[in-house]
Amino acid sequence: MTAYSNADATRDLRSTLDKAPAGAVNGEWFFITEQAGVSSLTGGYMYADGSHVAEGNHVLQKVREVVEKLAASPIKPFNKVIVHWTKSKIPLIRGRVTLDTLFDEAIVPRGPQDPIYEAASVARRAFWEKYGSVSDGFMAEQDDANVHNQTEWFGPHRRVLNIKWNTQLTLTTDGLSTPWAGIADQENGVGCELFMEFEASSTTSHQIDDWAHLLINLGDLVADGYQIAADVEKYGAILFCRLTDEYHPMTRIILSGDDRKIDNLPFGSVPLIRVTPIAESEIEHLDQSDEWASSAARYALSARRIHAPYGAK
């Protein structure tokens, strides 16, 4: 069987690309082959001034067809295809079409067993060991990881650590700052970790388990949110979510900044975010109309003498 080449793809594309919308003078399309289950195709025709032409979606399906043929052909591997079309300046002459395939290592997603995940875990543990004794295997919820080793936090780690120091007990998420599995972005997950502090002598094992499960659930919300860490840094503290009746009399959760950062993670440092449960009576008389009810959140924390760095950008 003859291999399907770039020249074959260019030939097959030309007749489709030449059916350009009125006024289009060139076009460019970018196809990223399937990476961790997701592929992408972007681009379109452009006018002479560089603005995009709204019409021309008929090209997308044709580009997909030729890319599928190229992928099935036993030629060198690729993960990116770039198609260019330029309208001929001479009437009745076909436009110029080029098609390039390349292998871009920068977009290769991390595999399910990439050592970077363990490196992140080691960095976090080293950080917390400066603040007390870290319990091994306190709580881990990983059984929902998919074939790419992605949990609800998009990396393989969805855990809570227990740190004890004298009379203080700290619970902290362990995995929000793990680089995401199945993608190539050089980021430490969602860029933060959550923590709660308690008096060890007045906190029962049952309460510890309840708060640990809450941290897991809050981690799910933070992982699914958009730039929560940036909002906490901007406003100092935010009124984040409501609690279920089982946590009564506590009804709300405040997320606030902390002066500490976890260093030596694969892609730099990430901030810690303090989790503080509060009762409705602590804020019910306060104005909550601003963004994230941040003024009320900061006031409630100050009443508890909890420092919330107000670094606002």
On whether both 129 and 265 belong to a single domain, the answer is yes
Torsion angle (degrees, nearest 10) of CA 221, 174, 144, 210? -70
Give a yes or no: residue 239 inside a domain. yes
Q: Give the pLDDT score at 148.
A: 81
Q: Give the pLDDT score at 36.
A: 67
Burial class (CB in 10 A: 0-12, 13-18, 19+), 111: middle
Chain position carrying tokens 């960095």: 123
Question: What are the phi and psi torsion angles at 198 (to 5°)?
Answer: -140, 165
Whether 262 and 272 have beta carbons less than 8 Å apart is answered as yes
**Which H helix or E strand runs over 301?**
helix 294-303
CATH number (domain holding residue 82): 3.30.500.20
SS3 content of the chain, % helix, strand, coil (to 5): 30, 30, 40
On whether both 156 and 209 belong to a single domain, the answer is yes
Choose the weakest-confidence range: 34-43, 103-112, 122-131, 187-196: 34-43
77, 107, 137 - which closes a domain: 107
CA-to-CA distance for 117 and 135, rounded, in angstroms?
20
Give a yes or no: residue 216 inside a domain. yes
On whether both 163 and 80 belong to a single domain, the answer is no
Q: Give the pLDDT score at 76.
A: 84
| Domain of residue 230, residue span | 116-303
On whether both 154 and 95 belong to a single domain, the answer is no
pTM: 0.78
On whether both 26 and 161 belong to a single domain, the answer is no
Q: What would the mean pLDDT of 33-47 be, rounded to a whole number?
A: 87
Q: Are strands 139-140 and 159-165 parallel, antiparallel or unpaired?
A: antiparallel
Write the CA distances from 94 to 59, 63, 85, 132, 203, integer angstroms: 16, 18, 10, 72, 77
Closest CA to 208 of 217, 218, 196: 196
Give a yes or no: residue 48 inside a domain. yes
On whether both 94 and 131 belong to a single domain, the answer is no
Reply yes or no on whether the pLDDT at 104 is more than 80: yes
**Crossing angle for the helix pair 294-303 and 228-235, to the nearest 10 degrees:** 70
What would the pLDDT profile of 147-179 be if each residue is shown by its tens digit? Answer: 888 899 999 999 999 999 999 999 999 999 999
**φ/ψ bin of 166: left (φ > 0), alpha (ψ from -120 to 50), beta (otherwise):** left
On whether both 64 and 141 belong to a single domain, the answer is no
Give a yes or no: residue 1 inside a domain. no
* The total number of structural domains that make up the chain: 2
On whether both 127 and 30 belong to a single domain, the answer is no
- Specify which residues 165 forms β-bridges with: 168
Q: Give the pLDDT score at 200.
A: 87
Give a yes or no: residue 313 inside a domain. no
Helix boundaries (H) for 131-285: 205-224, 228-235
On whether both 80 and 126 belong to a single domain, the answer is no
Whether 229 and 190 have beta carbons less than 8 Å apart is answered as yes
pLDDT band for 141, please (50, 70, 90 cuts). Answer: low
What would the pLDDT profile of 234-289 be if each residue is shown by its tens digit? Answer: 999 999 999 999 999 999 999 999 999 999 999 999 999 999 999 999 999 999 99
